[in-house]
Structure 1
Amino acid sequence: MEPVRPDFVPDPSLSRTEMEALQRSVAADAEFADRLPFDPATVSQTTGPADTTGSAQSTLTGERPMTTAHEPPVVAGIDQSFINDTAISAIVALQDGEVIERTHAVTELSVPYIPGLLSFREGEAIVEAFATLDCEPDLACFDGSGRIHFRQAGLATHMGVVFDLPAIGIAKNLLCGEPRESVDDRAEGWRTPIESTDAVDCPSGTTIGYAYQSRQYDSGNRYINPLYVSPGHRVSAETAVDLVAAFGGGYKLPEPTRLADSYADEVKSSVVDD
């Protein structure tokens, strides 16, 4: 799979100012509204216990239609593992819950870790991994942020625009923005909008993503932190969190990124052994 916008492919030789300017151009071209090649209801499933806080719950709870005009969507999970200054970018593609392809790329890193510029550190390896992918995904789920980003151009947004591919960012930590409600000790299935602040390049109070409690312990003595889900490209914030809820497989991470994480570690082990 080749980039649709090669002019937006992350260039590690750019200065920090140039990288930030490119991110703003990416965000200007990004679509934070639904333009998907499939009906999200075709990946629907129940998502957990009923919420008691009054927050909105997933609308993707209907049964799969008996007949559909299109095949189930191909959903790709993308995650990375690292060995010193080497990145292993792994892609796992699923269709109707079954793995149909796994591929990866091993790439030397050219940029150190800088908060807000993750796509320039990891994007090169991801582009190389996509070049080895035979299938064409209908949706990509990235381990990282999308619109929840200072310049609205996290990893999922940047890569989504580069490939003009519907994309979702799924992060374990909140980079910026403010949850509308406290995220502490929430029940499984709970969610709340993440709203922009003055640190984000959009009007304050804009919904740029959601905190989503994908799993939770039964005991009140400890709790699992929520995921931070945001639209990358060609998907709205609301549909992004609905889809992540629908992709849940009994773990904190949704199946596409959980399987990509596992595959990246598998490849890392083989590289270390070699």
Structure 2
Amino acid sequence: GVDVGFEADGTVTRAAVAVLRYPDLDLLEAAIARRPTAFPYIPGLLSFRELPAVLAALAQLREPPDLLLCDGQGIAHPRRFGIASHLGLLVDIPSIGVAKSRLCGAHEEPPNQRGAWTPLRAEGEIIGAALRTRVGVKPLYVSSGHRIGLETAIAYVMGCCARYRLPETTRHAHRLASGPP
């Protein structure tokens, strides 16, 4: 799982990578990297702001992970190239975008049952899915990032959602990226 937070009023980017074994979701390794924030906040261009620190965190791992679940978008992005796509391409690792909110596209509300999903569509194409990971919670927005199909991405995200709305991979990374300095 990959997530990013900021320290020192946004002047320091703090990226975290949490590596979990699948399917039991045991934490195997984690890394945190801090880098000066060198790019302004521009919606839709977060990868330029966040990826330098993410790449530094990935470089600390003993071995690269087999799959990246990124807190952000894959192709469910106005340019069809969100942070999960950008990162996956740079490191040539299959990647999935898992976002808490929709950046673009439209969808029907998925049924209120675990694992239910509806296509997220934009300009006549399916760019992702609105996925209900638990009964009674808002859906997540899942999209292919790099070298993975949508239905496979959905299956992995569901396999990583044990007790909470968010996958354990990005939950671990979020705690590391947002925790005390």
TM-score by shorter chain over 0.5? yes
Give the SS at the match of 2:68.
Answer: strand
What aligned pairs does 1:234-273 form with structure 2 within 5 A after superposition? 234-266=147-179, 269=180, 271=181
Does residue 190 (structure 1) correspond to residue 112 (structure 2)? The answer is no
Superimposed CA distance per residue, residues 41-60 of structure 1 (whole angstroms, 9 cap, x where no aligned partner): xxxxxxxxxxxxxxxxxxxx
Which has the greater radius of gyration? Answer: 1
AA aligned to 1:240 is A
Alignment-derived partner of residue 39 in structure 1 = none
**1:189 Cα deviation from its structure 2 partner:** 2.4
Q: Deviations over 1:208-250 (max 9, x none)?
A: 1100011233xxxxxx321000000000111111110111111
1:206 equivalent in structure 2: 125
Please report how far the alpha carbon of residue 150 of structure 1 lies from its aligned counterpart in structure 2 after TM superposition: 1.2
Q: TM-score, normalised by structure 1?
A: 0.62
Task: For 2:36 and 2:135, locate their aligned partners in 1 and report how far apart those are by CA, in whole Å.
Answer: 37
Q: Which residue of 1 aligns with 2:5?
A: 81
CA distance in 2, matches of 1:207, 1:238: 12
Distance 1:261 1:100 in 2: 16
Alpha-carbon distance in 2 for matches of 1:147, 1:171: 11
Q: Distance in 2 between matches of 1:82 and 1:236?
A: 31
CA distance in 2: counterparts of 1:192 and 1:154, whole angstroms = 20
State whether residues 127 and 143 of structure 2, in contact with CA within 8 Å, keep that contact through their aligned partners in structure 1. Answer: yes
**Aligned residues of 2:51 and 2:87 also touching (Cα < 8 A):** yes
CA RMSD of aligned residues (A): 1.4
Cα distance in 2 for partners of 1:175, 1:160 equals 19
- Residue 109 of structure 1 is matched in structure 2 by 37
| Residue among 152, 166, 184 paired with 2:80 | 152
Percent identical pairs in the alignment equals 41
| One-letter amino acid matched to 2:121 | E
Question: Where do 4+ consecutive residues of structure 1 move more than 6 Å?
Answer: none
Q: Compute the TM-score of the two structures, normalised by the length of structure 2.
A: 0.92
Deviation at 1:186, TM superposition (A): 3.0
Q: What residue in structure 1 maps to residue 134 of structure 2? A: 215
- Unaligned runs of 5+ residues in structure 1 are 1-76, 198-204, 218-223
- The equivalences for 1:56-71 within 5 A come to none
Asked if the contact 1:101/1:135 (under 8 Å) is kept, the reply is: no
